[in-house]
Copies of this chain bind each other. A is one copy, B any other.
Amino acid sequence: MVKINILIIGDHGLVMDGIRQLLEREPDMEVVGAVFSPTELEKDIADFQPDIIVIDAPSQRENNLIWIKNISSQFPASKVVMLSGDDNTEYVHAVHEAGAYAFVSKCDSAETLIHAIRESYRGVKSFPADLAFHDGSPLTDMELAVLDLIARDKTNSEIGEQLNISKRTVEHHVSSILRKLRVKSRAGAVGKAFRLGLLE
The bracket for how many chain A residues form the interface is 10 to 19
Q: Mark A169-192, 1 if CB is under 8 A from B, else 0.
A: 000000000000001111111111
CB of A150 closer than 8 Å to a CB of B: yes
Copies in the complex: 2
Chain B residues positioned under 8 Å from A192 (CB to CB) = 153
CB of A43 closer than 8 Å to a CB of B: no
Q: Which of B155, B184, B200 contacts A153 (CB 8 A)?
A: B184
A48 to B154, CA, bound (A): 18
CB of A199 closer than 8 Å to a CB of B: yes
A171 to B154, CA, bound (A): 20
CB of A194 closer than 8 Å to a CB of B: yes
Q: Which of B152, B183, B188 contacts A191 (CB 8 A)?
A: B152
Chain B residues positioned under 8 Å from A199 (CB to CB) = 191, 194
CB of A151 closer than 8 Å to a CB of B: yes
> Closest approach, in angstroms, between the C-beta of A111 and any C-beta of chain B?
27
Closest 10 A/B residue pairs (Cβ): A153-B188, A151-B191, A186-B187, A190-B190, A194-B194, A153-B183, A187-B187, A150-B187, A187-B190, A190-B191
